[in-house]
Amino acid sequence: MSVTVRVPAKVNVQLAVGSARPDGFHDLANVFLAVSLYDEVTVSPASSLTITCSGPDAGQVPLDRTNLAARAAELLAARHGLSPDVHIHIAKDIPVAGGMAGGSADGAAALLACDTLWGLGSTRAELLSICAELGSDVPFSLVGGAALGTGRGERLTELEVGGEFHWVFAVADGGLSTPAVYGEFDRLTEGLAVPAPAASPALLDALRTGDAPSLAGALANDLQPAALSLRPSLADTLQTGTSAGALAALVSGSGPTTAFLTKDEESAGSVAAALLASGTCREARVASSPTVGARVVGA
Ligand code: C5P
């Protein structure tokens, strides 16, 4: 008996960042959109908690208890007085470089898979509270679609999306540490009045109407200057994609993955080819949004 859950990657179409809070986190207005790149997480009974991973980036995935999938199994088991004796296999297709919430996705997927395997029938609210404990982006991986995250990004309000958006994601060599990017944001904004983060009405409207050019005009990531400061070469990647016809380009989350919104699927294909040919990225992936959150696909 095993349970498999499919879970999407995300892009942040708006990431408005406030100043650092006493707990070290930053208040956010974080508009998430789920995109059609997926990991599949399979859990099956075992004598102890073990993890394996397959896929081209598998070598970069930690297979110890720091993996959010392992932590999800442990947290859920602890809440129910169980022992987390499962084997977790992650079939990884979400780029590992960072900025697409691949680790968070695996946490949400493992949580739903274990809940199903152990027949716990947790409510959505119970699962979301464990997701929030695992990390700021994990609740969105469970919910999918489109949502505004407030607080440290974990308090979600689902959003309406009126059409399909097409994207290219350029995967950089190596990662960027999320705490380091937030630290650089603090350094760059030191002494400045950082406004309270708020969702942009123009952006929410563009999502609602499904209008790609309007969304392109409203894309915003307050972490982008920090990511570019730590990794200046990302500016060339962004420029290459816009020169190749993308409607807009931005760093995805804390990077170093960069995201390019295109007018249609065909344009996404040509932007991806130009990015790859330029040598400014390791890989270029085409995807569309929105798509559903973590779902059981096999049991
Ligand atoms: O919540 P998560 O574990 O994904 O956060 C990773 C790190 O990113 C935090 O330790 C913190 O440094 C930074 N972060 C932040 N404000 C947020 C979310 C994350 O400063 N809202």
- Note the pLDDT of residue 223: 98
Is residue 71 in contact with ligand 1, taking CB distance under 6 Å?
Answer: no
The confidence score (pLDDT) of residue 256 equals 95
**Cα of 25 to ligand 1 centre, how many Å?**
6
Distance CA 234, CA 251 (A): 8
Give the pLDDT confidence score for residue 98 in this predicted structure: 85
pLDDT computed for residue 205 by the predictor? 98
Separation of CA 297 and ligand 1 centre (Å) = 30
pTM score of the predicted model: 0.95
Low-confidence ranges of the chain (pLDDT < 50): none
Q: What is the pLDDT of residue 243?
A: 98
Please give the distance of CA 242 from its chain centroid, rounded to a whole number: 22
Whole-number Å distance between alpha carbons of 252 and 101 = 10
Q: How many residues does the chain have?
A: 299
DSSP three-state, residue 40: strand
Tokens representing 215 are 């969304």
Cis previous bond, 213, omega within 30: no
Quote the CA–CA distance of 254 and 176 in Å, as a whole number: 7
Q: What is the pLDDT of residue 176?
A: 92
Quote the CA–CA distance of 218 and 163 in Å, as a whole number: 16
Ligand 1, pocket-test mutation among 12, 23, 26, most atoms within 8 A of CB: 26
Per-residue pLDDT, 299: 82
pLDDT at 174: 83
Q: Residue 175 has what pLDDT?
A: 85
Active centre residues (catalytic): 10, 137
